[in-house]
Amino acid sequence: MKAKDIDLNADDLIQALTDVRDHVTGRRKVTMRTTKVALPKPVEEIRPQEVREIRAKLKVSQAVFSRLLNVPVVTEASWESGRRNPSGAALRLLQIAKNEPDVLLAAAEA
């Protein structure tokens, strides 16, 4: 393995450590103006069939699935039938349930 030269700027390192310390201790909050944060991509729409597949993957009824998502049963049923489309936080939560179903189940147990 080839060794690489690393340019170390001690002032930048000290500033970064100071920023982390201030954030952890509550002296400074992370904002978009002061900190570069990698934000997740927007969630693509989820089709009714995908909502049904997510629920089937979890092996739960509509009533249980709606409780896991913290939405009314009628809302979850309308997503599955295509009468309404999930949006906002519900869309992100469905994405998490689709990609990491165990996370949703673990959150419900907490």
Q: Is CATH 1.10.260.40 the right assignment for the domain spanning 48-109?
A: yes
Can you read off the two tokens belonging to residue 2?
């080839």
> What size, in residues, is the chain?
110
Mean of pLDDT values over 91-99: 94
Q: How many CB atoms lie within 10 A of CB 94?
A: 21
pLDDT tens per residue, range 13-57: 888 888 888 888 888 776 666 666 677 888 899 999 999 999 999
Percent residues over pLDDT 70 in the chain: 90
Cα–Cα distance between 88 and 90 in angstroms, integer?
5
pLDDT score of 6: 73
Rounded CA-CA distance 75/95 in Å is: 17
User: What is the number of other CB atoms lying within 10 angstroms of the CB of residue 72?
Assistant: 11
Q: Taking the domains of the chain in order of start, what are their residue ranges? A: 7-38, 48-109
Q: What is the pTM of this model?
A: 0.64
Q: Cα(64)–Cα(59) distance, rounded to whole angstroms?
A: 10
Residue that has been written with the tokens 């900190």 in this structure: 35
